[in-house]
């Protein structure tokens, strides 16, 4: 019994670890980073840090008090949302280059694990830790006016599962939700979502571990095609209207992280896909995998419906395992961040490191930019990373901690049969037998 | 293993399994992470394991699902009433689903050619319905005497809830019917109001209920129903049809 307790205590410590997140403005005017409860923004056009303003005109508005788990720009870049473990969702107006105002704060009953904004900018959806997806109507908002008291209404639910990713389809016809129970649900997004979304279009089933991320192709040409990454170390390509699986790419094996025979794969959860990014033309997909120092580029063959390995872009010189990706279509840059907050027992409990790959294009060669060549230069790095220099060991420890936290959260706990029996020993029906 | 020991869990005269060896707690936690195998998708369900009489070689699909089938009373009655329809019971309690499995196997032996269309799986139907059935695959779903879960904080454990009805509507064909019955008035009201307020379900008319032979089985065929009848208790049923939602709501 004691063993079980100490184990679970240990886990609680690690599960407070939150990976660093990054989001790039769709028109590349700014870059936002979330590290723990801290939100940092840099304006690329003005070349300066953006200050975040929370004022009294919005009731209940405050900076985040606990780890931020999801950040996202709206499709046209007029909105930005952040949400996380403090059970609040902040909606920011990123119009001014010097300051962003928090125009609304929505409170949730449970911790928030994912957010999405409809492409027409009318609705914000978020998923809580109990598997319920909530919708907030933000249509007709004025960037200068705070939104009045917005309450979320429940939209749909995955029964007692953790939702890991939420996406609107490019045409806003569907809302997609992925969970730790290997499922991707495609639901018709109704005209009146405040009455709930009841009509399920399909389920995309095929992953054999938690689904960690979803991505549509940024090109409007393929509104039906969906990509998903998972703890089973694969990226899969789907047709959302039917839920049909078009292709499965064993990215970890292809990148040389796993033996091709797949032995020992079930026990080793070290190569989960953590994030996906698609390029403008829809021909390339960038994939971040745990334990891989760099990213994998997959090429998407549109007519053959396949995903094949294009190349592995390694990051030389440091243990850089990206925790989150952002893509700027106009500049063809892939923004990557690695970092962690709440790292127990370390001299640097929170830190982040940003790298950029330019030339994410079929015709060009991908180049990992040096710190001197990075857009925004030193000022950007200072704003988003902070100044503290962090040694190599901390990066390695951070990557391990992020991996453990993800496994603890999303993979079912396995108990030995003795352990299971001992947990049952206080049950009344067992007592009677003796 | 000595043969006799195995046989002793079966009734000598009928050859059926004896319930006393399959007693389990009346309730099971649907929120817990259990470790039974779950098919990755409906195409991964091995029909030849469940219906060896029909598979391989048939293209039939399961059309009836008894959710929380308990000791399987309803399934057994339906098996002979609809001999050409494949049906499956879903039960979360391991021992109980074992009992139903043994019961079906013995019935198949005792009645050659019969009961080949019925089977049981151990699963948490609240979580894994989409793993077993495709869109619009089912024509009937049964929820007979489900756990009432009185406390408000436990309402999310109820097997009929507004959110779960979305999933049931997904696996039911248009015109498919959902049958619910309970002896707990509060739960009866709850199930009725969930179904009534859902845009994809409409109630069957009195006439339709009378004409449906299955409705009579709801209270008479199951072990729970017989118990209620013995105690002269009341039952509350709600029978609804899956419809195409009107434009206003979708």
pLDDT of A52 strictly over 50? yes
Q: Which residue in B25, B33, B131 is closest to A413 by CB distance? A: B33
CA dist list (Å): B174 to A190, A197, B43, B64, B161: 19, 18, 21, 14, 20
Phi, psi of A203 (to 5 degrees): -120, 135
Phi-psi region of A172 (alpha: psi -120 to 50; beta: other; left: phi over 0): left
Nearest C-alpha neighbor of B89 from the set B66, B116, B117 = B66
Percent of chain B residues topping a pLDDT of 90 = 71
B223 is in an annotated binding site: yes
Taking only the tens place, the pLDDT of each residue in B93-124 is 988 999 999 999 999 999 999 999 999 999 99
| Residue of higher predicted confidence among B24 and A318 | A318
Size of interface A-B (CB pairs under 8 A): 72
- The residue whose two tokens read 């930019």 is A369
Confidence of residue A225 (pLDDT cuts 50, 70, 90): very high
Cα gap B28→B97, rounded to integer Å: 13
Tell me, what's the ipTM?
0.89
| CB contact (8 A) between residue A198 and residue B127 | no
pLDDT of B198 strictly over 90? yes
B125 is in an annotated binding site: yes
pLDDT for position A398 = 85
The region of weakest confidence among A30-34, A259-263, A349-353 is: A259-263
Cα gap B180→B177, rounded to integer Å: 10
Q: Which residue in A132, A161, A188 is closest to B250 by CB distance? A: A188
Nearest-by-CA chain B residue for A190: B250
* Chain A residues near residue B35 by CB distance under 8 angstroms: 412, 414
pLDDT for position B14 = 77
* Chain A residues near residue B249 by CB distance under 8 angstroms: 190, 192, 195, 198
Interface residue B199 vs chain A (CB under 8 A): yes
Q: How close, in Å, is residue A110 to chain B by CA atoms?
A: 14
pLDDT for position B4 = 45
Nearest C-alpha neighbor of A79 from the set A87, A69, A88, A71 = A71
**What does the block give as tokens for B157?**
């454990």
B8 is in an annotated binding site: no
Across chain A, mean pLDDT equals 86
Which of residues 80 through 119 in chain B touch A, CB cutoff 8 A?
A: none
The region of weakest confidence among A6-20, A293-307, A415-429 is: A6-20
* CB neighbour class for B166 (10 Å; exposed up to 12, middle 13-18, buried from 19): buried
| CB contact (8 A) between residue A156 and residue B169 | no
Q: How close, in Å, is residue B74 to chain A by CA atoms?
A: 26
Taking only the tens place, the pLDDT of each residue in A192-222 is 999 999 999 999 999 999 999 999 987 677 8
Taking only the tens place, the pLDDT of each residue in B31-58 is 777 778 899 999 999 999 999 999 899 9
Chain centroid offset of residue A7 CA? 27
pLDDT of B5 strictly over 80? no
Write out the catalytic residue numbers of B. Answer: 147
């Amino acid at each position: 019994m004691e063993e079980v307790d100490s184990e679970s205590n240990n886990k609680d410590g690690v599960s407070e670890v939150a990976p660093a997140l990054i989001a790039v403005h769709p028109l590349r005017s700014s870059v936002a980073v979330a590290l723990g409860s801290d939100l940092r923004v840099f304006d690329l056009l003005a070349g300066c840090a953006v200050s975040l303003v929370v004022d009294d005109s919005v009731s209940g508005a405050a900076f985040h008090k606990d780890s931020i788990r999801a950040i996202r720009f709206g499709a046209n870049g007029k909105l930005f949302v952040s949400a996380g473990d403090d059970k609040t969702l902040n909606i920011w107006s990123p119009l001014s280059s010097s300051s962003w105002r928090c125009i609304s704060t929505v409170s949730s009953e449970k911790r928030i694990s994912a957010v999405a904004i409809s492409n027409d900018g009318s609705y914000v959806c978020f998923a809580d830790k109990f598997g319920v997806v909530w919708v907030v109507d933000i249509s007709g908002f004025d960037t200068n006016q705070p939104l009045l008291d917005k309450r979320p209404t429940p939209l749909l639910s995955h029964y007692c599962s953790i939702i890991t990713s939420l996406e609107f389809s490019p045409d806003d016809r569907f809302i997609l939700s992925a969970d730790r129970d290997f499922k991707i649900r495609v639901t018709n997004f109704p005209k009146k979502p405040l009455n709930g979304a009841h009509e399920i279009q399909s389920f995309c089933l095929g992953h054999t571990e938690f689904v960690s991320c979803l991505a549509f192709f940024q090109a409007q040409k393929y509104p039906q095609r969906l990509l998903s990454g998972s703890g089973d170390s694969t990226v899969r390509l789907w047709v959302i209207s039917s839920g049909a699986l078009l292709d499965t790419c064993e990215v970890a094996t292809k990148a040389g992280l796993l033996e091709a025979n797949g032995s020992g794969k079930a026990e080793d959860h070290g190569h989960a896909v953590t994030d996906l990014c698609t390029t403008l033309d829809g021909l390339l997909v960038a994939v971040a995998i745990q334990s891989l120092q760099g990213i994998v580029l997959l090429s998407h063959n549109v007519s053959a419906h396949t995903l094949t390995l294009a190349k592995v872009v390694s990051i030389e010189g440091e243990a850089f395992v990206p925790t989150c990706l952002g893509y700027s279509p106009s500049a063809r840059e892939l923004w990557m961040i690695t970092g962690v907050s709440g790292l127990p027992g370390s001299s640097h409990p929170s830190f982040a490191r940003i790298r950029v790959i330019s030339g994410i294009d079929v015709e060009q060669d991908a180049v990992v930019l040096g710190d001197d060549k990075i857009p925004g230069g030193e000022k950007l790095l200072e704003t988003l990373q902070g100044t503290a220099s962090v040694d190599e060991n901390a990066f390695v420890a951070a990557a391990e901690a992020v991996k453990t936290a993800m496994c603890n959260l999303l993979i079912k706990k396995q108990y030995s049969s003795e352990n299971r029996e001992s947990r049952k020993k206080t049950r009344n029906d067992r007592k009677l037998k003796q | 293993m000595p043969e006799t020991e195995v046989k002793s869990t079966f009734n000598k005269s009928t050859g059926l399994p004896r319930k006393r060896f399959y007693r389990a707690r009346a309730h099971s936690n649907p929120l817990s992470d259990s470790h039974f195998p779950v098919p990755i998708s409906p195409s991964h369900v091995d029909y030849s394991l469940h219906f060896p009489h029909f598979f391989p070689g048939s293209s039939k699909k399961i059309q009836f699902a008894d959710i929380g089938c308990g000791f399987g009373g309803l399934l057994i009655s339906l098996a002979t009433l609809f001999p050409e329809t494949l049906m499956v019971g879903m039960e979360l309690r391991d021992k109980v689903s074992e009992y139903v499995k043994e019961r079906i196997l013995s019935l198949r032996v005792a009645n050659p050619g019969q009961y080949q269309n019925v089977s049981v799986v151990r699963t948490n139907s609240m979580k894994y319905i989409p793993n077993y059935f495709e869109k619009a695959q089912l024509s009937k779903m049964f929820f007979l005497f489900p756990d009432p879960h009185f406390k408000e904080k436990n309402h999310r454990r109820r097997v009929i809830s507004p959110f779960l009805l979305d999933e049931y509507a997904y696996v039911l064909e248009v015109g498919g019917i959902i049958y619910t019955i309970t002896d707990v008035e509060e739960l009866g009201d709850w199930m009725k109001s969930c179904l009534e307020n859902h845009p994809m379900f409409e109630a069957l008319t009195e006439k339709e209920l009378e004409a449906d032979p299955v409705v009579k089985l709801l209270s008479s065929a199951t072990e729970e129903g017989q118990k209620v009848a013995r105690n002269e208790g009341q039952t509350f049923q709600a029978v609804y049809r899956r419809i195409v939602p009107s434009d206003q709501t979708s």
